[in-house]
């Protein structure tokens, strides 16, 4: 029987991953000790954990600066992409005019455009949001454009026969048809948005995980680097699962989810 | 009738001369590509023909569609996966602005009774069998009470047993709520079992080859498959199509 939602079922599914994780942590902890690896090269997990516990307020403050920018950028990029996809749906001319621009924006390396955006938008949250939005924009645009058009010709014909307007066709059919595609893209861009925000922080920002990483890098502080990586990873995974949760709630009908 | 414009014009249908009486069950048979489905789409104004003249109850298809609406049952049921069976039926009434909102719930229940799916109203299409989905689709087409029902190979994707079951269901529904039915199929036995008249189309360009009146349409008891008259007419139809 299907018991993937019970605690025992969950455990049966996840124990190999948990066991391997534990084994790797133990191996790491003890091999650093056995082989006398200096702590400034590779600190053991226990030291990283202690560092995080000691500096949790500072880490949390920087993490929040990064995550806020990432979430805002994610929301902005996704919203603009969906709006453009809807425009493309009703205007082939707009699609032909604007799609090459979207592809061009996609081809610019984020690392190259980040310093430019910092010059234009300053050292605050704005350039981070912009970069995160830019990264999220393209996958969502491509998926949403496809999603809005996946309803089959017989469904379109049914709406016409029933005397429905274009708006009704959108509201009752196209929107739902696009949701699985939009969520497939959102799951990818949720984690990408955090990377975008961190990259933007590399080129200069007042606070954030990226700033922390740059500073720790100059100081050759491997422990702080690991602490920053672990903190941002945990937050990114959390953001991903928030999106998954919203997806579960939104795609309520059977066989709605497309796996990506 | 012609379609398209300029060089890409496809001569799909030619000299279709057909008069259908109200309440009649007419099947349109022919090989793939003979324009059976195209004909249904012309009559319902989904595809405007470039020449020719279609009159539905004295109106042009466009006028009729605005005024009365056709019922249409598609090959793949074409239900919305995100709506339950009941919601799919209700949506058709909402879109066609048929019946006041308060009465729609009751009508949905009546229609689900009619197609014998009273207990499946809250199921999503993915939770229903192919035959059940097609029944919901029939209920949806009937929901706004059209006088004319178009069926485009509605049982084409079903297995033989479900198909026969659906034939008897359709005969029962047609007896309970008489409609004019135009039924497109490539199954001769299906056409013979269900119809008053059968229109045989020839392909490229689609034209009427022959119109056959069924001798003993829809006999009670469902023994038609063994009837001698039925078998003789089936043989005739086979010959016509293979000429």
State whether B1 and B36 are in the same domain. Answer: yes
Q: How many CB atoms lie within 10 A of CB A165?
A: 10
Q: Sign of dihedral through CA atoms A89, A93, A99, A102?
A: negative
Q: Does the pLDDT of residue A7 top 70, yes or no? A: yes
Q: Which residues of B touch A256 (CB under 8 A)?
A: 81-82
Q: Which residues of A touch B70 (CB under 8 A)?
A: 161
pLDDT at B11: 52
State whether B197 and B89 are in the same domain. Answer: no
> Are the Cβ atoms of B74 and A157 closer than 8 angstroms?
yes
Q: Which residues of B48-74 are buried (b: 16+ CB within 10 A; e: fewer)?
A: ebeeeebebeeeebeebbeebbbbbbb
Q: Which residues of A touch B80 (CB under 8 A)?
A: 155, 172-173, 176
State whether B164 and B237 are in the same domain. Answer: yes
Phi, psi of B56 (to 5 degrees): -115, 115
Q: How many CB atoms lie within 10 A of CB B158?
A: 17
Domain boundary among B89, B119, B145: B145
The CA distance from B233 to the nearest CA of chain A, in Å, is 33
Give chain B's contact residues with A (Cβ, < 8 Å). Answer: 41, 44, 46, 65-66, 69-72, 74-76, 78, 80-83, 91-92, 95-97, 124, 126-127, 144
Query: What residues form DSSP beta bridges with B206?
Result: B13
Distances (CA, A) of B120 to A178, B77, B85, B217: 26, 16, 7, 32
> Are the Cβ atoms of A161 and B44 closer than 8 angstroms?
yes
State whether B173 and B215 are in the same domain. Answer: yes
Report how far residue A125's alpha carbon sits from residue B218's, in angstroms, rounded to the nearest whole number.
Answer: 75
Report how far residue A117's alpha carbon sits from residue A130's, in angstroms, rounded to the nearest whole number.
Answer: 8
> Are the Cβ atoms of A158 and B144 closer than 8 angstroms?
no
pLDDT tens by residue, A216-225:
999 999 999 9
CB distance A127 to A118 below 8 Å: yes
Lowest mean pLDDT among A123-127, A182-186, B43-47: B43-47
pLDDT over 70 percentage in chain A: 97
pLDDT tens by residue, B97-118:
887 888 898 999 999 998 999 9
Helical spans, DSSP H, in chain A? 7-34, 45-54, 56-90, 92-107, 110-121, 126-148, 153-161, 166-169, 175-202, 209-218, 222-250
Domain boundary among B101, B121, B145: B145
pLDDT at A2: 47
Choice between A105 and B87, residue whose per-residue pLDDT is larger = B87
Least CA distance to B93: which residue of chain A? Answer: A162
Lowest mean pLDDT among A85-94, A131-140, B184-193, B202-211: B202-211
pLDDT at B49: 72
The CA distance from A227 to the nearest CA of chain B, in Å, is 44
Choice between A178 and A111, residue whose per-residue pLDDT is larger = A178
Q: Number of H helices and number of E strands within chain A?
A: 11, 0
CB distance A75 to A68 below 8 Å: no
Instruction: Please tell me which of the candidates B66, B78, B144 has its beta carbon nearest to residue A155.
Output: B78
pLDDT at A12: 87
Q: Domain range holding B87?
A: 79-145
State whether B156 and B129 are in the same domain. Answer: no
Give, for B149, the enclosing helix (H) or strand (E). Answer: strand B148-152
Give the position of tokens 């499946």: B120
Give the position of tokens 């409609």: B179
Give which of A156, A162, A178 to mutate to test B binding, by max B Cβ within 10 Å: A162
pLDDT at B46: 87
Query: What residues form DSSP beta bridges with B25?
Result: B181
Q: Which stretches in chain B have pLDDT values below 50? A: 1-10
State whether B90 and B134 are in the same domain. Answer: yes
Decide the pairing of beta strands B71-73 and B197-202: unpaired
The CA distance from A96 to the nearest CA of chain B, in Å, is 23
The CA distance from A168 to the nearest CA of chain B, in Å, is 8
Q: What's the structural domain count of chain B?
A: 2
State whether B235 and B195 are in the same domain. Answer: yes
pLDDT at B16: 66
Give the position of tokens 């350039």: A127
Q: Does the pLDDT of residue A5 top 70, yes or no? A: no
Domain boundary among B120, B145, B170: B145
3-class secondary structure per residue, A17-30: HHHHHHHHHHHHHH
Least CA distance to A250: which residue of chain B? Answer: B82
State whether B10 and B35 are in the same domain. Answer: yes
Lowest mean pLDDT among A61-70, A131-140, B28-37: B28-37
State whether B95 and B115 are in the same domain. Answer: yes
Q: Which residues of B touch A161 (CB under 8 A)?
A: 44, 46, 65, 69-72
Question: What ipTM was reported for this prediction?
Answer: 0.87
pLDDT at B212: 84
Q: How many residues does chain B have?
A: 243
Instruction: Please tell me which of the candidates B70, B71, B124 has its beta carbon nearest to residue A253.
Output: B124
Give the position of tokens 């919901």: B136
Q: Which residues of A touch B124 (CB under 8 A)?
A: 253-254
């Amino acid at each position: 029987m299907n018991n993937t939602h019970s605690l025992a079922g969950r455990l049966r599914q996840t124990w190999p991953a948990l066991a391997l994780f534990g084994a790797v942590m133990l191996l790491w902890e003890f091999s650093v000790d056995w082989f006398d690896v200096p702590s400034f090269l590779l600190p053991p997990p226990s030291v990283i954990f202690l560092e995080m516990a000691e500096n949790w307020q500072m880490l949390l403050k920087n993490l929040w600066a990064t995550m806020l920018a990432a979430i805002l950028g994610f929301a902005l990029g996704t919203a603009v992409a969906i709006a453009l996809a809807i425009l493309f749906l009703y205007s082939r001319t707009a699609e032909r005019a604007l799609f090459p621009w979207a592809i061009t924006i996609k081809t610019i390396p984020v690392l190259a455009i980040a310093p430019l955006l910092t010059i234009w938008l300053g050292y605050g949250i704005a350039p981070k949001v912009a970069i995160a939005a830019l990264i999220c924009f393209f996958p969502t645009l491509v998926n949403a454009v496809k999603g809005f058009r996946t309803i089959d010709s017989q469904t379109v014909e049914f709406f016409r026969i029933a005397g429905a307007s274009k708006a009704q066709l959108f509201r009752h059919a196209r929107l739902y048809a696009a949701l699985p595609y939009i969520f497939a893209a959102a799951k990818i861009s949720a984690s990408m948005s955090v990377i975008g925000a961190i990259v933007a922080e590399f080129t200069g920002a007042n606070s954030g995980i990226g700033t922390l990483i740059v500073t720790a890098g100059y100081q050759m502080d491997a422990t702080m680097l690991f602490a920053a990586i672990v903190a941002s990873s945990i937050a990114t995974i959390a953001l991903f699962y928030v999106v998954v949760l919203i997806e579960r709630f939104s795609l309520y009908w059977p066989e709605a989810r497309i796996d990506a | 009738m012609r379609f398209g414009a300029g060089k890409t014009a496809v001569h799909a249908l030619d000299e279709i001369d057909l008069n259908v009486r109200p309440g009649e069950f007419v099947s349109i048979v022919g090989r793939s590509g003979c324009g059976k489905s195209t004909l249904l789409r012309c009559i319902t104004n989904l595809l405007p023909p470039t020449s020719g003249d279609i009159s539905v109850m004295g109106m042009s298809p466009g006028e009729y569609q605005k005024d009365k609406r056709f019922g249409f049952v598609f090959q793949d049921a074409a239900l919305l996966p995100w709506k339950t069976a009941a919601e799919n039926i209700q949506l058709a009434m909402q879109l066609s602005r048929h019946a006041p909102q308060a009465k729609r719930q009751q009508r949905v229940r009546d229609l689900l009774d009619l197609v014998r799916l009273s207990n499946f109203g809250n199921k999503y299409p993915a939770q229903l069998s192919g035959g059940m989905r097609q029944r919901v689709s029939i209920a949806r087409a009937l929901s706004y009470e059209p006088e004319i029902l178009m069926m485009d190979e509605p049982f084409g994707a079903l297995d033989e047993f479900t198909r026969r079951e659906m034939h008897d269901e359709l005969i029962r529904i047609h007896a309970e709520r008489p409609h004019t039915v135009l039924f497109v199929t490539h199954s001769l036995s299906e056409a013979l079992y269900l119809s008053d008249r059968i229109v045989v189309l020839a392909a490229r360009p689609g034209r009427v080859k022959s119109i056959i009146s069924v001798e003993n349409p829809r006999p009670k008891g469902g023994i038609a498959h063994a009837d001698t008259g039925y078998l003789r007419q089936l043989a005739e139809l086979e010959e016509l199509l293979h000429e």
